[in-house]
Amino acid sequence: MRIGVVTFPGSLDDVDAARAVRLAGGEVVPLWHADADLPAVDAVVLPGGFSYGDYLRAGAIAARQPLMRAVVDRAHAGMPVLGICNGFQVLCEAGLLPGALTRNGHLHFRNRDQALLVERADTAWTSSYAQGQTIVVPVKNGEGRYVGSDADLDRLEGEGRVVVRYAGGNPNGSSRDIAGVTSADGRVVGLMPHPEHAVEELTGPSVDGLGFFTSVLEGVLS
Amino acid sequence: MPRVVVDVVLKPEISDPQGQAVLGALGRLGHTGVTGVRQGKHFVLDVEGTPDEAELREIAENLLANPVIEDVELHLSED
């Protein structure tokens, strides 16, 4: 199964994301943000980092690059897309996910191992987990506070589109402890925490993050 | 050349920790009369020919501001 991993100028975690895809058993297709065409891939990962130096707003300029137009079109046709950290910001800016990510409430960059409660185990990226499962993966962000109007957040919760929630403390002041959300069809997922950094005992706090990548591979196969 | 100014500020319902930090600093400097600070962005666009207001509004709302969390104001001037 071919999983595209996009590199933007300023991406940091594209190599780790590609590594996580390989460890999960997928074939990585490196993608460059300025390309107009999206090659034949079964899913796409938008990695973390500081695309375009976070100028204007985090993810704003990346979301308007040529490749992203193709990603948005394919996502509307059902292709799974996972955005991690800066990738989540890009997905919100591109209009594929609701809400926005802004400066952390305490204004500090926060980097720690974070417990997450999996609330949706039936999306394209979370089927390897059990609903209600707690996992631990790193979180590292300066603009990770998920916000939206109360009406929008109520609707999101009503539709069951919160995928993961912070447990044991909210690292950035996100509304309602929201750490990740999904599109209405469950194919597009945005996560502020970093599952790609928790795929091996040697380098991560757990291997809990691998499930996001095995989920999409299982889904594509079935 | 016509100049267009675009001001972007977080919507009132979105909390602004940067503005609150500035407010805290003002209090420590003795400026206790300031009771609120909202921090925003200010863009100055030089535009060739006659500015097309509809196009400028699209630029402001589709790129310079994120309408999910920000309000935007357009100011056209001829200086």
Q: Tell whether the torsion through CA atoms of A191, A192, A194 and A196 is positive or negative.
A: positive
**What pLDDT score does B50 carry?**
85
Contact residues on chain A for B21, CB-CB shorter than 8 A: 107
Architecture of the A2-219 domain? 3-Layer(aba) Sandwich (3.40)
- Answer yes or no: do A57 and B66 touch at CB < 8 A: yes
Q: Using CA atoms, how far apart are residues B20 and A207, in angstroms rounded to an integer?
A: 39
| Cα–Cα nearest to A67, from A9, A15, A26 | A9
Residue indicated by tokens 């704003």: A60
Percent with pLDDT over 70 in chain A: 99
pLDDT in tens, A64-107: 999 999 999 999 999 999 999 999 999 999 999 999 999 999 99
Query: SS3 for A9?
Result: coil
Residues of A in contact with B66 (CB under 8 A): 57, 60, 93, 100
Cβ contact, residue pair A56, B64, below 8 Å: yes
Domain ranges of chain A: 2-219
Give B51's pLDDT tier (boundaries 50, 70, 90).
confident
- DSSP annotation string for B28-51: HTT-TT------EEEEEEE-SSS-
The pLDDT value recorded for residue A219 is: 85
Using pLDDT thresholds of 50, 70 and 90, give the confidence band for residue B49: confident
Residue A57 is predicted with a pLDDT of: 95
Q: Which residues of chain B are within 8 Å of residue A99 when distances are taken between CB atoms? A: 68
Strands B40-46 and B3-10: antiparallel
Query: What pTM value is reported for the model?
Result: 0.94
For chain B, domains (ranges, CATH) are 3-76 (3.30.1280.10)
- What would the pLDDT profile of B4-31 be if each residue is shown by its tens digit? 999 999 999 999 999 999 999 999 999 9
Contact map slice: B 32-61 vs A, CB within 8 A: none
